[in-house]
Amino acid sequence: MSVERKSTSSLQEHRDVTSPDVEKQYNLAPYLSAEGGDYKTRFPNIDEAKVIRKIDLRVVPVLCVLYLLAFLDRVNISNAAVFGLKQDLKLEGNQFNTALVVFFAPYVLFEIPSNALLKHFKPHVWLSLCMFLFGLITLLQGFVQNFGGLVATRFFLGVVESGVFPACFYLIAMWYKRAEAQKRYSFFFSSTTLAGGFGGLLASAIGKMDGLQGYRGWRWIFIIEGLATCVVSAILFFAISDFPEEVAWLTKEEKEFVKARLYEDVGHSKRHEPLTPKSVLEVFKDWKIIVGGFMYFGLIVPAYSYAYFAPSIIQSLGNGMIRTQLLSVPPWACAFALAMLTAVFSDWLRMRFIFVLIPTAISLAGFIILLVVHDNKHLQYGALFLAAMGTYSAMPIIVCWFNTNLGGHHRRAVGTAWQVGFGNIGGIIAVFSFLAKDAPKYITGYSICIAFIGVAVLANTVYFVGVSWENRRRDRLQAQGAYDGLSQDEKKRMGDLNPDYRYFR
């Protein structure tokens, strides 16, 4: 009782010196509805499994469709290249690589501003708008006539796609507890593997339209896939869910229940507090945020190397255009299967680091084989399976591990955008790693991928050691009574900086 009076008194003092901003006052009010013991005992009439099933049906599948089309529109240029894009646009030397790299400059720069805008616009508005725009730009990509037109469309595609991936990860994190998040993250992230496989199948079919209405097959790939994205964006405007506090498909009691679950797991969400430059800089004072960027950065290089150049590598093994597209599908399918398998075990065992290392080792084996073997086409093709499976299974665990270890809207919004934004600088390295002059052995490209896998392993090890040390430090200080002066409400408002909070490892 005395703790509750102390918390209320302390917060009242803060309220007296704040501006009359309603949202700020809301966040300074004691969060009594979400504290006070086990959340399950405070909501005896709520069936948690039923609520989770409702969330699963409403949140993740829709975002999977969104990101599947986003990734498809981003990497379908690799399928278009097989169908004569380079020849028709008279691309010479490294011009194709330059067109690819232009995408990443705005994509990296606009990650954090985009997540800040997500807090001002509702997710269903912001994400569906981004989706319509990147669909429109993809469609227009089918009408470019020269290198300059291709570069321009790739640049603006990077601008509008920058808001999609971190916003989706951020949104998912605001719905699920850490122990149940990995399966959902991996299912969402595996939209990339589904997009890769689906893109190959679709390209093999669309490629047969070569010459229809006077357009080459590669143009039809952009036109049809871009048009489909625009149409689906209109549907998703009504289907994308907002934050738990804002949706209409949960009852008032269910909303409080969802908030209480997350509050008990990671603390106060601070949903309505404005994200300012000062609050962004505060987040970057935590060294773990910086390391999180390198964790993802290391695997982005092999990931984009595979996504953009696997069709060309498969074609270099002596396959025709249609057969190349079809052979690009199985590695993506296997990557999806392994990603979901590792996610299930990671959630079940409540462990992350070991399930980063195992897939990373698989990826490393694949790239080493590709580096040293050049006279066995079947083994080389098999190595592509290992490269795709390992890389695309480890990446969702890395992002989920880092993202869900952050508490509150501010730290998650900034941390996720930083990790994805900084990580995607690796895309710039990837597109210049596999140059036409290095074909078909691509010694330089495979060597670079292996080196950056090493960077990823090092960064993830540093993060694992760091959070393990932080957990032990908090255990020691808690045993000494160092935090006894803080009320439960004050602790919960600290998010993952709460001394009672323990990081997933």
Tokens of residue 181, six digits: 């998040």
Angle between helices 60-82 and 48-58 (to 10 degrees): 30
- Pairwise CA distance, residues 388 & 331, whole Å: 6
What are 38-68's pLDDT values in tens digits?
777 788 888 889 999 999 999 999 999 999 9
- Pairwise CA distance, residues 121 & 350, whole Å: 34
Q: Which pLDDT value is given to residue 231? A: 97
Q: Which pLDDT value is given to residue 275? A: 63
Do 504 and 405 contact (CB within 8 A), yes or no? Answer: yes
- Pairwise CA distance, residues 126 & 104, whole Å: 20
Tokens of residue 423, six digits: 């990580």
Task: Write the burial class of residue 251 (CB in 10 Å: 0-12 exposed, 13-18 middle, 19+ buried).
Answer: exposed
Torsion-angle region of residue 408: left (phi > 0), alpha (psi -120 to 50) or beta?
left
DSSP symbols for 86-144: HHHTT--TTHHHHHHHHTHHHHHHTHHHHHHHHTTS-HHHHHHHHHHHHHHHHHHHTT-
Q: Which pLDDT value is given to residue 20? A: 29
Preceding amide of 30 cis, omega within 30: no
Nearest CA among 1, 505, 33 for reference residue 262: 33
- Pairwise CA distance, residues 397 & 188, whole Å: 11
Residue-averaged pLDDT of the chain:
85
Do 397 and 342 contact (CB within 8 A), yes or no? Answer: yes
Phi, psi of 406 (to 5 degrees): -90, 135
Tokens of residue 276, six digits: 């300012």
> Which residue's structure tokens are 């009320």?
487
Do 146 and 99 contact (CB within 8 A), yes or no? Answer: no
- Pairwise CA distance, residues 151 & 97, whole Å: 10
What are 456-476's pLDDT values in tens digits?
999 999 999 999 999 998 888
Alpha helices in 240-320 (DSSP H): 252-266, 277-283, 287-316
Q: Which pLDDT value is given to residue 11? A: 35
- Pairwise CA distance, residues 441 & 107, whole Å: 30
Do 350 and 265 contact (CB within 8 A), yes or no? Answer: no
Q: Which pLDDT value is given to residue 32? A: 39
Rg (CA), the chain: 24
- Pairwise CA distance, residues 148 & 91, whole Å: 10
Nearest 5°: the CA angle 121, 126, 132 is 155
Tens-binned pLDDT, residue by residue, of the chain (505 aa): 443 443 344 334 333 333 323 223 223 333 334 444 577 778 888 888 999 999 999 999 999 999 999 999 998 999 899 899 999 999 988 899 999 999 998 988 887 787 777 777 889 999 999 999 999 999 999 999 999 999 999 999 999 998 888 888 888 888 888 778 888 888 888 888 888 888 888 888 888 888 888 889 899 999 999 999 999 999 999 999 998 888 999 999 998 888 888 877 665 555 545 667 777 888 888 899 999 999 999 999 999 999 999 999 999 998 888 899 899 999 999 999 999 999 999 988 889 999 999 999 999 999 999 999 999 999 999 999 999 999 999 999 998 899 888 876 678 778 888 898 899 899 999 989 998 889 899 999 999 999 999 999 999 999 999 999 999 988 888 888 777 777 666 666 666 777 877 888 8
Greatest Cα-to-Cα distance within the chain, rounded to the nearest angstrom: 80
Contacts of 353 (CB under 8 A, 6+ apart): 401, 460, 461, 464, 505
| Residue count of the chain | 505
